[in-house]
Amino acid sequence: MAITLETYRQAERAMAAQEATTGLRVHAAICGVVCVGLVLLNVLVASEFPWAIFPVVGMSIGLAAHWWFGVRHLDETMTRHQDDVERAAERMGRAA
């Protein structure tokens, strides 16, 4: 059974969206565990200064960037990627 280019594009987008969502969930879980650990360490061992806020804010910014670029703007990224692949395939077809 032959598939159309549009069916291929849709399948690739669906797989990329699933992978992006899974990646974001893993990133969020790891950030959550590490942030809780750092806050506990800060409170239990070195409570003189709330230093844990700095890595927590930094990791939160990283998580937000992961969502923004990896999930929120996935469609634009996939469109550019698929267009680039099609142009490369056209160049290969002309060279053959």
Here the tokens at position 54 are: 């700095």
Enumerate long-range contacts of 60-68, CB under 8 Å, 24 or more apart: 60/31, 60/35, 62/27, 62/31, 63/24, 63/27, 63/28, 63/31, 66/23, 66/24, 66/27, 67/24
Integer Cα distance of 51 and 64 in angstroms: 21
Looking at residue 32, its amino acid is G
- Give pLDDT tens digits for 15-56: 999 999 999 999 999 999 999 999 999 999 999 999 999 999
Integer Cα distance of 32 and 50 in angstroms: 17
The confidence band for 83, taking pLDDT boundaries of 50, 70 and 90, is very high
Give the pLDDT of residue 52. 97
Every domain of the chain and the residues it spans: 17-95
Give the closest residue to 55 by CA, choosing from 73, 32, 29, 74.
32
Quote the DSSP letter at residue 24: H
